[in-house]
Amino acid sequence: MAWFVLIALFWLLFTTRYLGGENLGYLDSKVLPQPVGEPSEAHHGVVASLANFGNGAAPGTRERIQSVRKYLDAISDGREFDSEFRPLEQGWLRGEWVLGPGANPRRRILYIHGGAFYAGSPKSHRSMTDRLSRLLDAAVFSLDYRLMPEHRRQDGIDDCRNAYRWILANGPEGAEELDFLLVAGDSAGGNLTLSTIAWARDEGLRAADAVVAFSPSTDSTLESPSWRSNLASDPMLGPGFGKLLKLPRPLLLWLQWLRDRIRPLDPRVSPLRGDLSGLPPVLVQASEAEMLFDDARRYVARAEEAGSPALLQTWPYMVHVWQIFNPELPEAEEAFANVAEFVASAVGAEDPACT
């Protein structure tokens, strides 16, 4: 019996320290939300549209994966866009250029879509890439990175890193230097965005002029309290992850490790837990009602602690990545207006391209 207890204690200690890492709860009071107002009527419609999101299938099952992929790709159906969508497949590189009217090819955005690392595509996020191209007068490259479970988590990470290096020297018309670079992503894509900019710093590559992360996942150890405290208030992530979060956290850490083949605390999958010094200006937008809220504010708090310029903007009540529901949601339009202001501030002057 004594040996069993010792083995159990060793297993628990190994799991929490080797896989989970340091408790970062001290960050939760450093960046506080400032709730204002009530959600728009349009937001209630968006919440209603999520009623059948994922069809209630268990996370990770083939049925749920296909359901979520279908739902996300259908978001852009029936919409009219001002941008040109130009597919690109060049060896390992896949994606599409999104070119708003008169977009400057020397102003570029690398966009990394969300979808929990197993769904999403350039098509699913056209409402965001079209808006960013027009907003910032920039050519957007929307990356079609490799998804799980068909590929490893590291494959998607490598695609983002290679795309970052590639976009520094290539525009929509071919090889060409750039004048401005924004890296942006949402949810899982926000995770990849923040991981990629830290890698670019370590590689000594040209830094992005600005970075935007919409509702990012920043900590794969699932330690953030809002994962559970906001379970009932998150109509997008809550139904899919509710059953999974009933499992003890040590077991979830092992499942994460086995799935990703990367320790959950590794900065490649948990950018919050890496070196956050020397990064370009980062804007993080999040909803105070979503499960990833504490992931967002912890990242900003720790980036500020490390001396990097970081700004957190929060909205009450909003669904996860509400910016994708533009122009229907006035809160989405407000969020994009804030992006334009942030970019103008990050480059050190009023940017005439930000309209």
Residues with a catalytic annotation lie at 187, 290, 320
Check the CA dihedral 27-29-30-31 and report its sign.
positive
Cis peptide before 327 (omega within 30 of 0): yes
- What Cα–Cα distance (Å) separates residue 103 from each residue in 3, 15, 111, 207? 67, 49, 15, 21
Distance, first Cα to last Cα, the chain: 69
Query: Hey, which residues does 110 pair with through a beta bridge?
Result: 141, 183
Strand pairing class (282-287; 210-214): parallel
Overall residue count recorded for the chain in this entry: 355
Helix (H) or strand (E) holding 334: helix 330-346
Q: What distance in Å separates the CA atoms of residue 295 and residue 317, rounded to the nearest whole number? A: 17
106 Cβ contact partners less than 8 Å away, ≥ 6 residues apart: 171, 176, 177, 178, 179, 180
Check the CA dihedral 189-191-196-201 and report its sign.
positive
Q: Which two tokens stand for residue 313?
A: 């903007």
Closest by CA position to 92, among listed 181, 190, 165: 165
Q: Count H helices and E strands in the chain, helices first.
A: 11, 10
Q: What distance in Å separates the CA atoms of residue 19 and residue 266, rounded to the nearest whole number? A: 8
